[in-house]
Amino acid sequence: MRRITVAIIISIHIVLTYGNVTSSTKNGDITTSIPLDNYAQNVSYIKSGEKKKESVKTFNLNDSPVYLDDVLFVLKHQNWTEEEQPCLRSTLLLLHNLQNFTLWAVWNWDAISSEPQGLLFGSKFHLGNFDECMSAPWYKTQPELRTQYCLADIVLERTDKPVKKRISDPYDPYQSALNLLEHRSVFRRSLNELTWGVCVPAVCQPKSVERLMGILLAHSHLGTAGLRTHISVTEPCQKVDEPIPFDALFYAFIGVMGSLTILALACTFIKYKKKDLNYNKIQDSIIIAFDIKTNAKNLLKTSGKGLEVLYGIKFLTMCVIVSAHQYGIFNGGPVSNGSKLDEEALTILGLMFLHEDVVVDSFFLLSGFLMATLLIKAKKLPNLFDFIIKRYVRLVVAYAVVIFYVCAIFPYTGSGPLWHRAIAADTEPCRKNWWLNLLMLSNYIDSQNICLVVSWYIPCDFHFCILTVALYCFYKKFPLAGKIIATVVSVAAILAPGIINYIYELPAIQLFTYDFMTNPRGSLQFHMTYIKSHTRYAAYLIGFLSGILYSYCAASDKFNKIPKKWSILGACLSIFTMGVVMFTGPMFLWRSYDVLESAIYAALNRPVWASCVALLVICLSLGHVPLIKGFLSWYPWVPLSRLSYGLYLIHAVFIARNVYVTRNPQHHDYINIMTHCLGIICEGSLAALLIWLIAEAPINNLLNVMFKFSNNEKKETNTEGQSSTNGENDKRTNRDHLHENMPTSVQIISSKI
């Protein structure tokens, strides 16, 4: 009897449970799409601040209001203007269909990062899924469902007014998270700033997007602290049906570069077929100037006996600059573990990246060093006007090609949530101020909108070259006055950075911190001391003086060899001192500010670095340092060093492109950085090679042809009238062109970088 009773109870329980399940299934909600025509009927479900009971909920939790209901409630009770009503209607329609789990609504919401993630770990960019937002399968057939992708910059501000005190441990787990949000690391990364991407209806205006994002942020975990938010949508939202149209600049670049390529290929073919070209005929000289094979061979020629180490120094210095810019631009973009990077900023590698700007002074030194050896070996003083023209063309051809590329082609090379910012940061300044760059004035005029941030080096080098050669020519004609002026200029060049730092109370140096990497044009120190020619001249002067010293020592029988032990000692001393300069600079980040101390360091750190590089070059060139000299003189450095100038110009464009096309925050680690660096160096060197073969070498060759035949005509004219103007001809000969009097070896090794 007991068994029968238990069996009956179990049977009744099963029947009741099955009945409840089937009833629930029959009464389940059907996924439907709410039409636009019935919009008013569908959205007027709130009365006197009371939510409609029948609204479909995504989930229930003890009958308490849930996320979507709260968002709907707040949206409805915002003060929307008349022009914002279409956005409100479309957004409410989206949320209602999301509650019903309709595909198009879920698709759009799925593309949104519902709330910031990883903010406390240094992840600033919360981009959602850009491609999902922009690539809905029905965007062509259902125009009313089209969306747009918008970016909002948000600053969080605490409202509780706590007593300000120094926080010994920002990661104390029992303190308020607001303290960590306010904390700025040594790397100067702010955790209370974020960039949030959202997929919204295409009819929404920036003001409406700001309102929507404020509501979403208030319903995230950050909304529990009552933070005050400053939200701004400053750039146009991206829409699928609004691609960037090809403009005249695009077709002009294709036409110009295509024409140069065809011309180079045609001249190469003609030279291959005609073996008897005459260098003394202008038409044959033009063909040879564009010959790809000849220009490629010039990259492989070794020259400058005794200075082979410069090849390795130049290219490896360029690699250091590329790695530093890769490190900086990469970590200024979307990174998931920014706080980890802040910790690594205090390691040996991190300190090197913080003060890598001093490496650029190595290029200034080498440029001055080579210019001195060139002038010392020249038989006569150069014609200053001709020299300026040759130097300008030598610098400007590749420079103009890269600027043209950034203006015309770069906007079409990528897409992504941050791509409009790439165009605003690189293309727009170039389209505005390209002429300042080509006039070598970009580091002085409107430098806040300088085209290509790294290009500040080019006008500096051009200014240094002209001024130094002019001073040298003046010294040759008036030795005593020349020495006095050279001394005054040298002292002024060393003191200028320190004086400016002291007057404006600037930091000791421009460190590559987070705020500088994200907006280099916004740094006051960048414009006051970092890019100005008069504050960077010291390294070039030291290079010029060391080049003169090297030339006289190499020509002397007594000082042309440095004993091995002294060479090793000098090389070790220079490397050690360079390390001291590089690692002491970042210490100013955590030291208390002292204006006099900062001014002294600003005045001396670059000249000391340049002096150490000069000592290293002289020890390696006139002496013997095992392993180092052989490594730096390795033959593969020869062509790579000659491509350094093109690599310098183009590498930052490639790095920025890779960063701005990213869809999600990337993980920072040194192997990842190194892998990217190797790719940029290879791509940049290949681009530099193409620029050299198609534009740079041919145009420089044409300039040489022009000077050559111009000089020949002058010589013929002078020969005809030699009997009557003999004395005048002697004076003109003393002002002969620099390229006629310099040894070929020195001319080849001289470089822009």
- CA dist 381 and 367 (Å) reads 19
Dist CA 220 CA 515 (whole Å): 27
DSSP 111: T
Task: Report helix, strand or coil for 452.
Answer: coil
pTM: predicted TM-score of the whole model, two decimal places: 0.85
In terms of Cα–Cα distance, which of 713, 712, 714, 704 is closest to 739? 704
What pLDDT, on a 0 to 100 scale, did the predictor assign at position 319? 95
CA torsion through residues 408, 413, 416, 421, sign: negative
- Per-residue model confidence as pLDDT tens digits over 203-253: 999 999 999 999 888 888 888 777 888 999 999 999 987 888 899 999 999
Provide the 8-state DSSP code for 172.
-
Strand positions, DSSP E, 309-456 = none
Instruction: Decide: helix, strand or coil at residue 643.
Output: coil
pLDDT of residue 380: 85
CB 208, CB 99: distance < 8 Å = no
Structure tokens at 708: 């050559």
HSE of 268, CA atoms in CB hemisphere, 13 A:
16
Dihedral sign of CA atoms 696, 702, 706, 709 in order? positive
**Structure tokens, 425:** 């940061």
Q: Are 615 and 574 spatial neighbours (Cβ–Cβ below 8 Å)? A: yes
Among 136, 511, 529, smallest CA distance to 351 is for 511
Look at residue 139 in the predicted model and tell me its pLDDT: 86
Residue 40 is predicted with a pLDDT of: 34
Q: Is 226 left (phi over 0), alpha (psi -120 to 50) or beta?
A: left
Burial class (CB in 10 A: 0-12, 13-18, 19+), 387: buried
- Establish how many alpha carbons lie within 13 A of residue 458's alpha carbon, considering only the half-sphere containing its beta carbon: 29
The tokens of 664 are what? Answer: 């999600």
Question: How far apart are alpha carbons 647 and 685 in whole angstroms?
Answer: 5
Residue with tokens 């690594």: 344
CB atoms within 10 A of CB 154: 22
Phi/psi at 225 (5° precision) = -90, 0
What's the chain's Rg over C-alpha atoms? 34
Q: Which tens digits make up the pLDDT trace of 669-708? A: 889 899 999 999 999 999 999 999 999 999 999 999 988 8
Angle at 345 between CA 655 and CA 584, to 5 degrees: 110
pLDDT of residue 43: 36
Residue tagged 């534009």 (tokens): 695
Whose CA is closest to 126, among 487, 346, 359, 418? Answer: 418
Name residues of the chain where pLDDT drops below 50.
6, 13-65, 723-751
Which of helix, strand or coil describes residue 737? coil
- The pLDDT value recorded for residue 505 is 92
- The helix or strand, by DSSP H or E, that contains position 464, with its residue range, turns out to be helix 457-477
Contact 722, 362 (CB under 8 A): no
- How far apart are alpha carbons 351 and 511 in whole angstroms? 10
Rounded CA separation 597/1 (Å):
100
- Contact between 673 and 667 under an 8 Å Cβ cutoff? The reply is no
Which contacts (CB < 8 Å, 24+ apart) does range 729-732 have? Answer: none
Rounded CA gap, 381 and 513, in Å? 45
**Within its chain, how far is the Cα of 58 from the centroid?**
45
335-to-194, 420, 690 alpha-carbon distances in Å:
12, 19, 33
Inter-CA distances, 334 with 116, 124, 195, 252, 662, Å: 13, 7, 9, 34, 8
Q: Which residues of 583-622 are buried (b: 16+ CB within 10 A; e: fewer)?
A: eebbebbeeeeeeeebbebbbbbbbbbbbbbbbbbbbbbb
What residues form DSSP beta bridges with 232? 153
- Please enumerate in sequence order all residues whose Cβ is within 8 A of that of 143, keeping only pairs 6 or more positions apart, or say none: none
* CB atoms closer than 10 angstroms to residue 478: 12
**How does strand 238-239 pair with strand 228-232?**
unpaired
- The two three-digit tokens of residue 555, written as one number: 């020509």
| 3-state class (DSSP) for residue 228 | strand
